[in-house]
Structure 1
Amino acid sequence: MYVSNNLSLVEQHRQHADSISERTAQFLASGGAVAQVPSMSGNPVPPKRTNKVDPETILKRRKPDITAAERKALRKLAEAL
């Protein structure tokens, strides 16, 4: 059995719980029936991914390193200075 440490919270919700109990009793008294159905099993299916790519969210890619030929040309330019 669980005893709440926060009795003021329990008392706060008692009026709401009593109201639900009253309405349930009225429903059953007027001929209503409560059906016991199996609970949902498993996890909900996640939404499908779209193929649309927002241009503002595309990651900025790292520039590729310079090639050996470009590095050789830069060395020649540096030596010429």
Structure 2
Amino acid sequence: MVEHHRPQADSLSEKVAQFLAAGGQIAALKSPPRNPIPPPRSPKIDPETVLKRRPKKLTLAERRALRKMADAL
């Protein structure tokens, strides 16, 4: 597998050498934090975008009562 990626590695090394020969500099910087802090939420809530909650499912007792009413009809 290493030999399989050798041409790409050589090409990359060649490009780095060209960059440095042209006066470029490589700077070792501090790595960014792994989990960036999310942006703060807005306190404004638009009434149009408020989530519509799903109604609760019928309980077993309610389903049985509904079935009895349907059978009575």
State the TM-score, normalized to the length of structure 2.
Answer: 0.54
Question: Which residue does 1:10 correspond to in 2?
Answer: 2
1:61 aligned to which of 50, 56, 70: 56
Over 3 Å off, 4+ runs:
45-49
State yes or no: 1:24 paired with 2:16: yes
In terms of fraction of residues, the more helix-rich structure is 1
Q: TM-score when scaled to structure 1?
A: 0.50
* Percent of matched pairs sharing the same residue: 42
Shift in Å, 1:14:
0.7
Cα deviation 1:29-54 (Å, max 9, x = unaligned): 010001111111241235778x743x
Unaligned runs of 5+ in 2: 66-73
Q: Number of matched residues?
A: 57
Aligned AA for 2:4?
Answer: Q
